[in-house]
């Protein structure tokens, strides 16, 4: 599903977070030791049944002459070269968030930090209410029967509070459950694709293009009219 702004629905939250974060930074409204926490999800790391993220380098080479920025923008907009599948779009959106966080970390003032955090599986939030029947009526009920594969919303939310107390030494990192798990203690994810700097920077530039908001362009942060707040 694509929003009225031409953004795939799973990608839309990142655009809003980017506008808000850049707006706060440009307006100097964040404390010198501010902590920015944004939600990602387990599929960003890979290895989650029924979810598969796009191989960005291969996709860029095949459809965009190697231009990763154009490839990320296509994923964000569900462009013509994207083979849309809801679960895969969700995985792409959460991986793009992890890359965006890494790119933002390099741009933050000293003392500030940003983290991507997966809350882990918490099906009582009704997260699967719009999922396809296979996931909603088969996969989720089976997962709920496996010990350690689900947790309460309160436990999931506590991860964000925990991350808000992390230091600058782990700024830009993606935190999720241990490999093969969907609950329990979270840890820094070490999968190589998360550390692909070319993909991180391509994501940053693509989000700028889609959102129209850049750290170096404060004029674009002003509301376009009194009834429309941009950030």
Distance separating alpha carbons of residues 111 and 72, to the nearest angstrom? 29
Q: In DSSP terms, which residues pair with 177 in a beta bridge?
A: 186
pTM: 0.85
Q: At 183, is the pLDDT very low, low, confident or very high (cuts 50, 70, 90)?
A: confident
Strand, helix or coil at 32? coil
Q: Give CA–CA dist 168/171, Å, rounded.
A: 5
Say whether 168 sits in a helix, a strand or coil.
Answer: helix
Residue 138 is predicted with a pLDDT of 64
Mean residue pLDDT of the chain comes to 87
Residue 190: count other Cβ atoms within 10 Å of its Cβ. Answer: 11
Q: Is the pLDDT assigned to residue 184 strictly greater than 70?
A: yes
Residue-wise pLDDT tens digits, 51-84: 999 999 999 999 999 999 999 999 999 998 999 9
pLDDT at residue 171 tops 80: yes
Per-residue pLDDT tens digits for 98-132: 999 999 999 999 999 999 999 987 766 666 555 66
* 123-168 pLDDT, tens digit each: 666 665 556 666 665 666 666 666 666 778 898 899 999 999 999 9
> How remote is the C-alpha of 155 from its chain's centroid?
20
C-alpha 73/C-alpha 199 separation (Å) is 12
Q: Is residue 208 helix, strand or coil? A: helix
Q: What local confidence, expressed as pLDDT, does residue 220 receive?
A: 42
């Amino acid at each position: 599903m694509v929003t009225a702004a031409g953004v795939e629905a799973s990608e839309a939250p990142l655009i809003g977070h980017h506008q808000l974060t850049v707006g706060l930074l440009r307006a100097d409204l964040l404390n010198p030791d501010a902590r920015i926490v944004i939600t990602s999800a387990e599929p960003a790391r890979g290895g989650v049944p029924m979810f598969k993220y796009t191989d960005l380098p291969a996709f860029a080479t095949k459809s965009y002459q190697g231009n990763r920025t154009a490839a990320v923008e296509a994923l964000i907009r569900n462009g013509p070269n994207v083979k849309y599948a809801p679960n895969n779009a969700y995985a792409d959106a959460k991986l793009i968030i992890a890359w965006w966080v890494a790119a933002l970390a390099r741009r933050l003032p000293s003392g500030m930090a940003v983290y991507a955090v997966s809350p882990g599986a918490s099906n009582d939030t009704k997260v699967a209410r719009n999922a396809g029947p296979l996931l909603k009526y088969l996969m989720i009920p089976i997962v709920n029967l496996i010990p350690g594969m689900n947790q309460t919303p309160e436990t999931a939310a506590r991860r964000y509070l925990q991350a808000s107390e992390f230091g600058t030494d782990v700024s830009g990192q993606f935190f999720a459950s241990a490999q093969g798990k969907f609950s329990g203690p979270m840890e820094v994810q070490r999968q190589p694709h998360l550390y692909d700097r070319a993909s991180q920077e391509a994501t940053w530039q693509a989000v700028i293009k889609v959102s129209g908001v850049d750290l170096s362009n404060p004029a674009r942060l002003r509301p376009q009219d009194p009834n429309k707040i941009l950030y």
